[in-house]
Structure 1
Amino acid sequence: MSDDVLSVIPADPWWRPGQEAADRAAALAAELAPMLDDDDEVEIDVSWHETVQFVDCYSNLMRITCPLCAGSIDLEWWQEFGDAHEDEGLSTLEVQVPCCSGSTSLEDLRFDWPCGFARFEIAIWNPNRTWFDDDELAALGAALGHPVRQIYAHI
């Protein structure tokens, strides 16, 4: 069985909220994510990490493009990179890309479907919707106390 996960992360990968702000934003996310039926509540996981973690869109990822040369970045290279940093996270977002050997930030890679990097995440499992609209994202950011981005994963 597959799952869909709609994640909300801070726009700044290094930023983390306090508990009260996280609780407010998670409660709002629960309101905005409709239930599958009358008996099921949407499952929401709130996570804090010591290091920056990759927030993946999994099978939604179609391609990655380099911001320096506009070349394609091989998805196998990306998978190996992610596997190497899965347990300990990332201490820096700087990376040497394989396409042109240039140095750039992971945040600047162009992911086709959005992916992100964060030390904090609200993950809504099987939310019975896809993206939040701009007004909903702004409300989630206000509840959290920091602008947010969203990632939609199919696992």
Structure 2
Amino acid sequence: MSDDILSVIPTDPRWQPDQAAAERAVAVVEGLVTETLNGIEDDLEVTWHERVAVVDCGQNLERIGCPECGPSLDTEWWRDLVEAHDDGFATLVVDVPCCGAGTSLDALDYDWPCGFARFEIAIWNPGRGRFADEELAALAGALAGALGHPVRQVWAHI
């Protein structure tokens, strides 16, 4: 059996909210998906990672492009890199194999989106599509008050 996971992460890979902000964001997520889930507590995971973790799109990953020279990168190179850092990343700096340029893993061009984060809200089999822009804005506001903290979403299929 396969699963879909809709994850919401901060756009800054190192940023983490405090406990109260995380609880506000979870309440927003629950309001957005309660109608499509039975027993959301079993399908919602909130994780604070000690180090920056990859939040990938699983089988949805079709292509990774180099932000410097444009061609597709070998996804096996990327998967090997991720597996070598299964305990998280101290730095996202990497030299891409296509042109040798130094860049950041979160700057690569992922098709479907992937991300890196120290905080993640994951909804398993959400029974709905991606969050709309206004829903993401509500989540951003919940995470950091009036100023908000920008978030992005990653849709994984495993």
Same fold (TM over 0.5): yes
| Gaps in structure 1 of 5+ consecutive residues | none
Q: What is the CA–CA distance in structure 2 between the aligned matches of 1:85 and 1:66, rounded to whole Å?
A: 20
Give the deviation of 1:36 after TM superposition. Answer: 4.0
Q: Percent identity?
A: 58
Partner of 1:30: 30
Partner of 1:71: 71
Partner of 1:136: 135
Are the counterparts in 1 of residues 57 and 154 from structure 2 also a CA contact under 8 Å?
Answer: yes
Are the counterparts in 2 of residues 35 and 41 from structure 1 also a CA contact under 8 Å?
Answer: no
The yes-or-no answer on 1:91 pairing with 2:94 is: no
Please give the root-mean-square deviation of Cα atoms over the aligned residues, in Å.
1.1
Q: 1:13 to 1:19 in 2, by over 3 A?
A: same
Partner of 2:81: 81
Q: What is the CA–CA distance in structure 1 between the aligned matches of 2:46 and 2:35, rounded to whole Å?
A: 18
- Scaled by the length of structure 1, the TM-score of the pair is 0.95
Partner of 1:19: 19
Q: What is the CA–CA distance in structure 2 between the aligned matches of 1:48 and 1:104, rounded to whole Å?
A: 25
1:151 to 146, 149, 154: 154
Are the counterparts in 1 of residues 44 and 124 from structure 2 also a CA contact under 8 Å?
Answer: yes
| Gaps in structure 2 of 5+ consecutive residues | none
Write out aligned runs for 1:36-55 (5 A): 36=36, 40-42=38-40, 43-55=43-55
Give the deviation of 1:34 after TM superposition. Answer: 4.3
The yes-or-no answer on 1:3 pairing with 2:3 is: yes
Structure in which a larger fraction of residues adopt helix? 2
Give the deviation of 1:35 after TM superposition. Answer: 4.0
Q: What is the CA–CA distance in structure 2 between the aligned matches of 1:81 and 1:35, rounded to whole Å?
A: 38
Q: What is the CA–CA distance in structure 2 between the aligned matches of 1:153 and 1:101, rounded to whole Å?
A: 29
How many residues are aligned here? 152
Local SS of the residue matching 1:120: strand
Are the counterparts in 1 of residues 73 and 98 from structure 2 also a CA contact under 8 Å?
Answer: yes
- Scaled by the length of structure 2, the TM-score of the pair is 0.93
Q: What is the CA–CA distance in structure 1 between the aligned matches of 2:157 and 2:107, rounded to whole Å?
A: 22
